[in-house]
Structure 1
Amino acid sequence: MTTAPTQLPGTIPALLSSRAAATPDKPFIVDGTVTLTYRETQEQAKALAAWLLNMGCQLEDRVAIWAPNCQQWIVAALGAQMVGATVVTLNTRYKGGEAADVLQRSGARFLFSVEQFLDVNYPALLQPFELTDLVTTVTLRVHSQSDHFANVLEEGRNILSSQQGEAALAAAAAQVTGNTTSDILFTSGTTGQAKGVVTDHGQNLQAFAAFVDILGLDTDDHYLIINPFFHSFGYKAGWLATMIAGATAYPLAVFDVPSVIEQIEQHSINVMPGPPTLFQSLMAHKDFDRDKLKTLTKATTGAAVIPMQLIEDMWEKLGLETVITAYGLSETCGLVTMCRRGDDAHTIATTSGRSIPNIDVAIFDNQGHALAPMETGEIVVKGFNVMRGYFENPQATAETIDREGWLHTGDIGFLDPDGNLHITDRLKDMYISGGFNCYPAEIEQQLCQHPAIAQAAVVGAPDPRMGEVGAAFVIASSPGPIDDQELIAWCRDVMANYKVPRHFFWIDTLPLNATGKVLKTELRKQLHLNNA
């Protein structure tokens, strides 16, 4: 049993190469009936890289991936990064307009997309939109090695069979360094428009080598990745961490409790991170049987306030040895703080742990002065994990990272005397539903596209299953009854399901402050009174 190498290679493809050399026949990805060893993963990534080069892909071109968790997702990302291209991840719950917006603003030249998934034809959703930079779309099928993606790999192998093809790939790979952009993850903000977070190979490897060390991942681990690859939790804390540890990844395309139980029992899964709702759903399910889950030993969770009882249950009912909570955001490669093995249930449930090595976390007041322990203010972060900036948005970057290099998270909290981070409020008005970040301004903009809505304000409402769901306070554009269920159905057509408000409150006016800003605190009070 070994853990992460003490000296990591400088790039993600170089890490794959080192793993393929050290443990060529060890399974890296087990996806349904498809198993790829580290060597086979590298061979497929090289073939894809050769194909991209032949198609004119250049250093730091954007390559988008719009697909659920599957082996092709990982190969596409590694192949793109092998030639110095930048991976742009797309949320699988996006509607066509949302995906087209990210593709257009990122200038993505290549798109890898699932052909058909959960009765949705993803490429068809993009047909109404003009994507001027997109050169080609490669489609794939989950749990398959016979699709357009497979044909592209075969073309890539033919290209590599010539000396010219091998030389071109070697030359392109030689340009990739730790400072090369590895990915752009789009995250919405209070303006309602998604911003692309730019990070590089070196900082992601360093951050998640710390994650691997703190969680105690090793080469013997079987890691079930339920968190979506389009998010840093599934991508960086998922398959990238698996590769750093030299372990085996088991991607799951759709969360379904019976499927999770089957995967754990069939593959002796012992590592399973996820939001609190995942573990709550697992233990509450009628088919829950601890004996079927006896191999589980390690888990990380976060993304919401966690009941202390849940941590106790994860230890006692699930029999886990290691339960760790963590805090991060896209702007910090997805990781800032983690609890440590051996922390008690109170620390794990009520804090997000201490900063990872070589990262500074502080609490600032409104004037930018550092506060003492136990004093509440804005959480700020400085260190190697801070993003290089927002893609082609220097103004937003300057508003987020100050001149001293502190990244202002917008989250509110305090540090206790032991350095544990306590988060007391969310990023601006953001709330988290089922582990997904929901940004009210973005949802409000979409709601106001409905002809019956003149104004809208959204806040998070407590929900026993999802943690929080959207509650929309709306002003009608004209008198007359409006059916909430019809409105919810309309919302599901234009926005990702996790964004759809579950409650609507029709009001005459919104509470405003002196500058005309909606007082969300007043809306939360009204919500509390309505639920009382």
Structure 2
Amino acid sequence: MQDWIVHKVLANAVDRFPDQPFLIYEDQLISYKELDDVTDVLASALLQEGFGRGDKIAILALNQLEWLYTYFAAAKIGVGVVALNVRYRDSELEYMLNNSKTKGIVSISGHQSFDFVQFFEKFKDKIPTVEKYIFIGYGFEGSLSFDELLARPLDRGRLEAAKQAVLEEDTAVVIYTSGTTGKPKGTMITNRSILASAKAQADHLSLGAGDCTVGSLPLNHVGGITCAVHALLVCYGSIVLVPEFIPEKVLQVIHHVKPTVFGGVPTMYHMVLNHKHINQYDLSSIKVCIAGGSNVDPTQCEMIETKFPNAKIINLYGLSETSGACIMTRLTDSLEKVQQSIGVPIGDFSLMIVDAEQKELASGEVGEVAVKGGCRAKGYFELEEETRLAFSEDGWLYTGDMGYLDHEGYVILKGRKKEMYIQGGYNVYPVEVENILMSHPKIGFAAGIGVPDSFLGEVGRYYIIPREGATITEEEVKSFCQQHLADYKVPRQVVFVSQLPQTPAGKIQKSALKEQYLKQLQ
């Protein structure tokens, strides 16, 4: 790609396919040219309001047109977007807006029963860097209207000057890590890194102008903004926006719009595949089902293959720190390979498995997964020590995930470095046990953590959601695991639950499970 700058990639799409629909939202089709025109006006209005290169503007909205209008407008003038989730409340918003030194915020007026206008009007003193409040809908006195900004006259000369100043290494979006461990860190994803990941993904999957993806992963996560929006932007495809993940809504979109790509984390697939009316929907248009976030267990793979009859299942591995996808299985891989591995590096990215001293390990040896390439983000905003530990000076990103390379160079993921527990001197990776548990016909979902034990040091505590209508006992669970796992991997504690805590991106939040457990001990 000649210029790794978001607004130049959009301009290229306009030159080649001006009338091609890019965004599909409810009954609206927004072409590349229409998006370019609208975001020119919004970018000009933001310049008038005092935003400039290097500033930050936060977006608190659903997967809707205004989210992407703001993002592409900000990209044109070098303003970094701080991507927020509508589930966030005072503690998260106070920390993230202050930490990122956000200058302005674009927000929906409300969501469900929560009034963001009232909230921000009372909250202003706690976020002193925020000077501009722009509401999609009604606002408070002194705030700005999103629609009014879109109605302003365009200052073409000023806008073109701002566009010329944008660089590849400018921050395009700040995404806060989902907080599975510790305090969220603001990952600075650049123009270059987000496009490098998106281009590598699109090329790896042979996506083109005729492809359309389901945009149900949140846009404040790389699964939404990179793996959906930018991956289809670089190949001149389209995206059908789903405001928020609701299984029936996703099924309706696939049935009516006929997209070719669907992506989600395993919890999303679980909810879609187990929807009681799934057989009433035509899912035959989907040619690629992308599963990201964590290993897809074998049983779920088989269900995807059954319910999406024309789809190839692809594992995708990526983090905020890699701006999106960096490792994926191949279109030619067997189902068995997809069940076992997260894949190989895509594009021209490199990877290695390293020990605790960050020395490369041989195939078959378990260590930390390290990734190198254009997808690597710039670091964590104003967190020098955390950036130094994860982002090496020679270009490697140390992911904190554990795995090993098989004899073909595929990565076998074992789980988070901090998720591993040591039971009686043996290393146990919960994901391996979870995959076995979810192959049981009565188990819908499982998540494991290590908890202290006076004799063994640590033992496995596994939270299980039974399948709808199924009844299963702790003894059945342990007996099943004994048939398939080494004795030290068999769960010592089994807890049956109706739901599990999730991060905003839909991953199981194991830090919350640990917190719940520790509270019970008090």
TM tier relative to shorter chain: 0.7 to 0.9
- Counterpart in 1 of 2:48? 54
Give the partner amino acid of 1:258. E
Q: Is the 8 A contact 1:8 1:15 kept in 2?
A: no
Report the 3-state secondary structure (helix = DSSP H, G, I; strand = E; otherwise coil) of the residue aligned with 1:390. Answer: coil
After TM superposition, give the deviation of residue 99 of structure 1 in Å: 1.4
Q: Report percent identity of matched pairs.
A: 25
After TM superposition, give the deviation of residue 352 of structure 1 in Å: 0.7
Residue 134 of structure 2, aligned match among 134, 138, 146: 138
Equivalent residues in 2 for 1:353-502, closer than 5 Å: 353-429=343-419, 461-463=463-465, 501=513
| Deviation string, structure 1 residues 53-81 (Cα, Å, up to 9, x no partner) | 00111111001111110111111000001
CA distance in 2, matches of 1:408, 1:43: 40
Report the 3-state secondary structure (helix = DSSP H, G, I; strand = E; otherwise coil) of the residue aligned with 2:105. Answer: strand
C-alpha RMSD over aligned residues = 3.1
Q: Is the 8 A contact 1:271 1:296 kept in 2?
A: yes
Q: CA, structure 1 residues 508+55, in 2 after alignment: closer, same or farther (shift >3 Å)?
A: closer
Unaligned runs of 5+ in 2: 139-143, 421-429, 435-446, 450-459, 469-498
Give the partner amino acid of 1:319. P
Q: Using structure 2 for the length normalisation, give the TM-score.
A: 0.79
Q: Is the 8 A contact 1:299 1:320 kept in 2?
A: no
- Alignment pair present for 1:223 and 2:213: yes
CA distance in 2, matches of 1:253, 1:359: 32
- Counterpart in 2 of 1:167? 157
After TM superposition, give the deviation of residue 214 of structure 1 in Å: 1.3
State which drifts further: 179-188 or 103-112: 179-188
Residue 248 of structure 1, aligned match among 238, 251, 258: 238
Give the partner amino acid of 1:414. Y
Q: Is the 8 A contact 1:190 1:429 kept in 2?
A: no
- Alignment pair present for 1:207 and 2:203: no
Report the 3-state secondary structure (helix = DSSP H, G, I; strand = E; otherwise coil) of the residue aligned with 1:73. Answer: helix
Q: Is the 8 A contact 1:47 1:153 kept in 2?
A: yes
Report the 3-state secondary structure (helix = DSSP H, G, I; strand = E; otherwise coil) of the residue aligned with 1:213. Answer: helix
CA distance in 2, matches of 1:252, 1:313: 23
After TM superposition, give the deviation of residue 357 of structure 1 in Å: 2.5
Equivalent residues in 2 for 1:62-141, closer than 5 Å: 62-126=56-120, 127-128=122-123, 129-140=125-136
After TM superposition, give the deviation of residue 97 of structure 1 in Å: 2.1
Q: CA, structure 1 residues 114+498, in 2 after alignment: closer, same or farther (shift >3 Å)?
A: farther
| Deviation string, structure 1 residues 33-66 (Cα, Å, up to 9, x no partner) | 3321111111111111001100111111001111
Unaligned runs of 5+ in 1: 1-6, 441-457, 467-487, 511-532
After TM superposition, give the deviation of residue 387 of structure 1 in Å: 1.9
CA distance in 2, matches of 1:330, 1:402: 16
CA distance in 1, matches of 2:313, 2:71: 29
Give the partner amino acid of 1:52. L
**How many residue pairs align between the two structures?**
447
CA distance in 2, matches of 1:341, 1:189: 32
- Counterpart in 2 of 1:149? 146
Give the partner amino acid of 2:402. I
Q: Using structure 1 for the length normalisation, give the TM-score.
A: 0.77
State which drifts further: 124-133 or 325-334: 124-133
| Deviation string, structure 1 residues 458-488 (Cα, Å, up to 9, x no partner) | 987344579xxxxxxxxxxxxxxxxxxxxx9
Q: CA, structure 1 residues 507+32, in 2 after alignment: closer, same or farther (shift >3 Å)?
A: closer
After TM superposition, give the deviation of residue 295 of structure 1 in Å: 1.5
After TM superposition, give the deviation of residue 503 of structure 1 in Å: 9.4
| Deviation string, structure 1 residues 358-400 (Cα, Å, up to 9, x no partner) | 2221111122221100101111122222221111111111121
Give the partner amino acid of 1:58. G
Give the partner amino acid of 1:148. S
- Counterpart in 2 of 1:301? 291
Report the 3-state secondary structure (helix = DSSP H, G, I; strand = E; otherwise coil) of the residue aligned with 2:97. Answer: helix
CA distance in 2, matches of 1:299, 1:463: 24
Report the 3-state secondary structure (helix = DSSP H, G, I; strand = E; otherwise coil) of the residue aligned with 2:264. Answer: coil
